[in-house]
Amino acid sequence: QVTAKTAFLFILPQYNVSVPTADGELVQYHYGLKDLVTILFYIFIAIILHAVVQEYALDKINRRLHLSKVKHSKFNESGQLVAFHLTSVIWCLYVVVTEGYISNPRSLWENYPHVYLPFQVKFFYLCQLAYWLHALPELYFQKVRKEEIPRQLRCIALYLVHIAGAYLLNLTRLGLILLLLQYLAEFFFHMARLVCFTDENNEKLFNVWAVVFVVTRLFTLTLYILVIGFGLPRVENQALDPERGNFFSFLFNNILFRMSVLLLVCLFQASVMWRFIHFQLRRWREYWNEQSSRKRAAAGAKQQAKPLKRDSGYHENGVVKAENGTSPRTKKLKSP
């Protein structure tokens, strides 16, 4: 029994509480320091799954494609993220549908703070934190190039800050919807990269990703405005109460603070869209330059294929021939 209790500490979420409901009692969870032990266990699980995907899927494809070292590293990165994002999108969509967060958008801010979580919501957040923490040692195991490490560290840090912030500040419902939108766009991007590695001329999925990215950015901005601008200011319990998990809902009564937060959100989304537009313009410029160079090469090949016209004759075996095929004879000079 002692080992079983220790194993449950690593495998299952802790801090379960029986919450009374109209139909009886419902078991829900809140967070605490013991969650770090569970996250540590699932970090090792994520490392094992990472190695399985690399060994039995990505390495076999890489042997057939014969990619360069740079493309090899990017292919492995996108392959791992495609598997993760696809799993996370399906899992997150199942959670938000079964919990009713999509059918009832008011539940995103009603009864805030959302201290008590269903099992599947807490387990999802623990697994997400474990995955992005496991990505740190994977930078060493995968022998990522030094030039790529700062970019990947920024990406990992942003995901960890947003996921941990939503989990610790009891904004898990809003965090689930935002993660669903973000992972959906990221899935199409990395899928497009994989297709481009196999066929460089196939960029149809990049166009699909561009549409999905713009749509998800608009939904994300709308969701922020709906929750921060209209939802949280109407919460009944506006007093600061860290023990009950109410950290900052009282601040949203101040219109200046609310507008400042919305302004920061809009500026951040605008910067993301600017980088996206810059990327698309660069990609289109490269595409049109490639098309124009191909046209010039084709035009040059046609000009070289045309026969050259000669007026007075032509050369054959180093001898000038006349137009009628006879060789011109040189006149003999009479001796004086």
- Dist. CA 43–CA 133, nearest whole Å: 7
Instruction: Please name every residue paired with 19 in a beta bridge, in sequence order, or none if there are none.
Output: 26
Residue 329 covered by a domain: no
pTM for this predicted structure:
0.82
Give the pLDDT score at 336: 43
Convert the pLDDT of each residue in 278-336 to its tens digit.
888 887 887 788 778 878 777 777 777 655 555 455 444 445 455 454 555 555 444 44
Predicted confidence (pLDDT) at residue 203 exceeds the cutoff of 80:
no
Average of per-residue pLDDT values in the chain: 83
Closest CA to 185 of 227, 218, 152, 151: 218
Q: Which two tokens stand for residue 98?
A: 């079964």
Q: Which two tokens stand for residue 312?
A: 């007075």
Residue 290 covered by a domain: yes
Give the pLDDT score at 160: 96
238 pLDDT tier (thresholds 50, 70, 90): low
Which tops the pLDDT comparison, 292 or 118? 118
Locus of tokens 């993760």: 84
Question: Residue 170: which residues within 8 A CB-CB, separation 6 or more?
Answer: 112, 113, 114, 115, 245, 246, 247
β strands within the chain, DSSP E: 16-21, 24-29, 314-316, 319-321
Give the pLDDT score at 190: 93
Give the pLDDT score at 249: 62
Q: How many domains does the chain have?
A: 1
* Chain centre distance of CA 296: 37
Predicted confidence (pLDDT) at residue 223 exceeds the cutoff of 70:
yes
Average pLDDT over residues 163-191: 93
Residue 216 covered by a domain: yes
Residue 4, domain extent? 1-296
Q: In this prediction, what percent of the chain has a pLDDT beyond 70?
A: 84
- Dist. CA 291–CA 321, nearest whole Å: 44
Phi/psi at 30 (nearest 5 deg)?
-130, 180
Phi/psi at 288 (nearest 5 deg)?
-70, -35
Question: Residue 53: which residues within 8 A CB-CB, separation 6 or more?
Answer: 79, 80, 83
Closest CA to 75 of 50, 89, 54: 54
- Dist. CA 125–CA 172, nearest whole Å: 8
Instruction: Please name every residue paired with 27 in a beta bridge, in sequence order, or none if there are none.
Output: 18
